[in-house]
Structure 1
Amino acid sequence: MTVLLPDADWRHRPGLDALLDALDAAGGKARFVGGAVRDGLLGLRVNDLDIATTIDPHEVVDRLKTAGIKAVPTGIDHGTITAVIGGWPVEITTLRRDVSTDGRRATIAYTDDWREDAARRDFTINALYADPLTREVTDYFGGVADLEARRLRFIGDASARIAEDHLRILRYFRFLARYGGDVLDADAYEACRAAANSLMALSRERIADELLKLIVVAAPLHALRLMVDGGILRAVLPEVDGAGIARLEQLIAREAAAGVTPAPVRRLASLLPPDAAIADGIAARLKLSNKARKRLSIALEPGGLDESPRALAYRIGVEGAFDRMLLEPHVPLEALEAIRGWTPPTLPIGGGALIQRGLQPGPDVAKALQAVQQMWVTEGFPDAGRVAALADQIVSKFQRARQ
């Protein structure tokens, strides 16, 4: 039975038809592949578009330039060119076969055999191609049936696929969380368990990227429990245990009830022991960005929840306050409304105004300004008139202390 890729808005983005013409899609030299086909068949939103082609990558660049399409050689040594159409990136990869692999990277050769290209991919649901013009889906390994059954299978032998790229262990659980159903492929799970220690050979950046993608999906708990029970993370993230998954489950429920968009760093914070120092060490180990590392630590720092929501947000930032309040189950969700969409104000007075009131220049100015700010925050950020009165009080207090 012929399966057709449903039409969707992404297929009509400006510049896509010109790109397909440049790649001679009408002549059978280019097809949509991977996520766009998979998600398109499921009726999901397609964000990233990949095109597979029989054309050599250097010729792809020449064709795009001739067509006036920006071509970025993002991975030309591995056959991948990124075309930019209307500000939208489209990855174009020449059909490949693996010559050799070491679990981290592969030596490849180009091919014009679509099935050979499909055979080197990880899961059956990712090895689907669609003709851009007829929308006919080509399926070599039963991926369409697996999509319909919500079944996640490796192509061929699971252990062999994992040996080619150890990251596929983590990818298996991420795709299981998003696309899998209740039936677990026992062979795939056992292969992941057996090879779990091979994750130590991967860069920490790749591990972090996959883990953050996994925990931010709508329903990651089943996959994470399987990972903990099977010792999958023990080699690279032994701190994650059943208690962490319970905290994540609680956070997911609170995010949903509050209508808050899931954030991968916040969810990671829930998985880790509630200790900022430990979390910072884990963030360093995973080589998270400085921004993510700081956010993780702020989320797990103790205290602050006895302050008003706006006082907390003023001190640590709105983002940090949201994280900390959501992570603490005893904080009522209604309290979030005080800082939703709120921009912390700026103290409407400076040290110069205190000097004008008679305070002597020196260390006292900074101390007095801090005291004014503390009272301003405590009183709920009153207007400039009230701040002026507070400044008068503080200056008078400091002057009396110096007499």
Structure 2
Amino acid sequence: MTQLPKADWTQRASLAKLVEALGAEDIRWVGGCVRDTLLGHDANDIDAATRHLPATVIDRCKAAGIRTVPTGIDHGTITAIFEDGLVEITTLRRDVATDGRRATIAFSEEWQDDAARRDFTINALYAHPDTLAIGDYFGGLEDLAARRVRFIGDAATRIREDHLRILRYFRFATRFGDDWDEEASKACSELAATLKGLSRERVGQELQNLLNLPDPSATLARMRELGVLEEVLPESGRREVEQLATLVGAEQKAGIAPDPMRRLAALLPAIVSVAETVAARLRLSRRQRDRLICVARRELADGKHPHGLAYVVGHDCALDRLLLIGSDPAPIIGWQAPTFPLKGGEIVARGVGQGPEVARMLQRIEKRWIEEHFPPRARVEELLEEELLAR
């Protein structure tokens, strides 16, 4: 029988305390922590499944001195809080009814019932907390070894239960797969229109998760080919998908980490109104919206040198623009913008009345200061004198 390799997280004293509280035969580690450990990756989140009902989990943890929060109690999830991290504990479940957006569930005592309602075989692996023996009910170990992402059971049925699984398939296949599963691809294509029924927040977050992977460009091309991309991002055509691939190459060449907002901008035409529409539809934050709009103005760089661009629009937007237009971003990496060494009060002290004239003069001097690559204070004083003489 396959066993989970010992990892740092499997040997935490806090988890041993949790196992003692709930009983080793009534709890299993499940999902990403098992999958990632089997692959030799770090496990960032620890999830557990249990036969106990949520109220019993809370009572047993309280008796053991473990603090809990009912983060998803309606769906059977309790979060145990430890100094070295959180553990989500979910009662075994089976689906009673689904509508593609939410499920009505019933609690179960069978591990296989719980496994059967999960999305992919590689996410339905359960590890015994003491022996670390793996419970595999749907061939997840074989799929993991083959780097194959496959739905549990019938792909179309799984997608009809939760339409977001279409986007999750492409994310997981990008991260863990070497090829596209034909059954999954067919189901995703045929049911792509169901994505319109999901909350825009869920779609936006899943899209960002996908774009944050090292290189999702081939995946976005595949999604476009299957008619999935047009359901979530109809503004993105062949040119924009190719632009994403070019951007990823530029990021890798410059050693710059992926950024989902930069990549989302690459998937859109450089039109401010389009950026505004997409930001509203995906329910992006105000900060994310402003960044998309800033990057959409990349064709209006006015020939500014990289430092000047970064000073005017901010480091993140400048970096995005440079990468997207094919310019070298190296000059602004690690660069700190200087402070403009002139205040309006100094202009007033030279006899210019307070008001719009001071602001306009300050802006003209600052613009010349930027164009001259931020010369020292002495040059700024000269620029001030020139402006005063020109009045």
Q: TM-score range by the shorter chain?
A: over 0.9
How far apart are residue 14 of structure 1 and its match? Answer: 6.2
Q: What letter corresponds to residue 231 of structure 1 in structure 2?
A: G
Which secondary structure state, in structure 2, belongs to the residue aligned with residue 153 of structure 1? coil
Change (3 A) 1:346 1:34: same
Match of 2:238 among 237, 242, 249: 242
Contact 2:254 2:330 in 1 (8 A): no
Show the counterpart of 1:186. 182
- Structure 2 distance, partners of 1:328, 1:194, is 36
How far apart are residue 338 of structure 1 and its match? Answer: 1.9
Which secondary structure state, in structure 2, belongs to the residue aligned with residue 37 of structure 1? helix
Contact 2:220 2:229 in 1 (8 A): no
Change (3 A) 1:364 1:14: farther
Change (3 A) 1:372 1:279: same
How far apart are residue 357 of structure 1 and its match? Answer: 2.0
How far apart are residue 12 of structure 1 and its match? Answer: 4.2
Match of 1:350 among 318, 334, 343: 343
- Structure 2 distance, partners of 1:67, 1:375, is 68
- Structure 1 distance, partners of 2:19, 2:334, is 43
Identity of counterpart residues, as a percentage?
50
- Structure 2 distance, partners of 1:244, 1:365, is 44
TM score, norm. by length of structure 1: 0.92
Change (3 A) 1:204 1:390: same
Q: Deviations over 1:174-221 (max 9, x none)?
A: 111111112x32222111111111111111111111111112212323
Q: Deviations over 1:30-55 (max 9, x none)?
A: 11101111111111121122111111
Residues 1:394 and 2:383 aligned together:
no
Match of 1:325 among 299, 322, 326: 322
RMSD: 1.7
Show the counterpart of 1:78. 75
Contact 1:312 1:321 in 2 (8 A): yes
- Structure 1 distance, partners of 2:370, 2:362, is 12
Q: How many corresponding residue pairs?
A: 390
How far apart are residue 375 of structure 1 and its match? Answer: 2.0
Q: What letter corresponds to residue 177 of structure 1 in structure 2?
A: T
Which secondary structure state, in structure 1, belongs to the residue aligned with residue 10 of structure 2? helix
Match of 1:98 among 95, 110, 113: 95
- Structure 2 distance, partners of 1:357, 1:17, is 74
Show the counterpart of 1:214. 210
Which secondary structure state, in structure 2, belongs to the residue aligned with residue 360 of structure 1? coil
Residues 1:46 and 2:46 aligned together:
no
How far apart are residue 83 of structure 1 and its match? Answer: 2.1
Residues 1:285 and 2:281 aligned together:
yes
Match of 1:56 among 43, 48, 53: 53
Which secondary structure state, in structure 2, belongs to the residue aligned with residue 31 of structure 1? strand
Residues 1:167 and 2:164 aligned together:
yes
How far apart are residue 386 of structure 1 and its match? Answer: 3.1
Q: Deviations over 1:251-295 (max 9, x none)?
A: 111000000000001111111222222122112111111111111
Contact 1:178 1:219 in 2 (8 A): no
TM score, norm. by length of structure 2: 0.95
- Structure 1 distance, partners of 2:13, 2:355, is 62
Contact 1:247 1:271 in 2 (8 A): yes
Q: Deviations over 1:4-47 (max 9, x none)?
A: 212223334563333333332x3x11111011111111111211
Show the counterpart of 2:253. 257
Contact 1:14 1:86 in 2 (8 A): no
Match of 1:157 among 154, 159, 164: 154
- Structure 1 distance, partners of 2:294, 2:199, is 25
Match of 1:295 among 291, 296, 299: 291
Q: Deviations over 1:102-148 (max 9, x none)?
A: 11100111111001100010110000011222221111110000011
Q: What letter corresponds to residue 384 of structure 1 in structure 2?
A: R
Unaligned 5+ runs, structure 1:
none
How far apart are residue 347 of structure 1 and its match? Answer: 1.6
- Structure 2 distance, partners of 1:219, 1:377, is 36
Residues 1:3 and 2:6 aligned together:
no
Which secondary structure state, in structure 2, belongs to the residue aligned with residue 354 of structure 1? helix
Match of 2:377 among 367, 376, 384: 384
Contact 2:235 2:274 in 1 (8 A): no
Contact 2:32 2:45 in 1 (8 A): yes
Unaligned 5+ runs, structure 2:
none
Show the counterpart of 2:17. 18
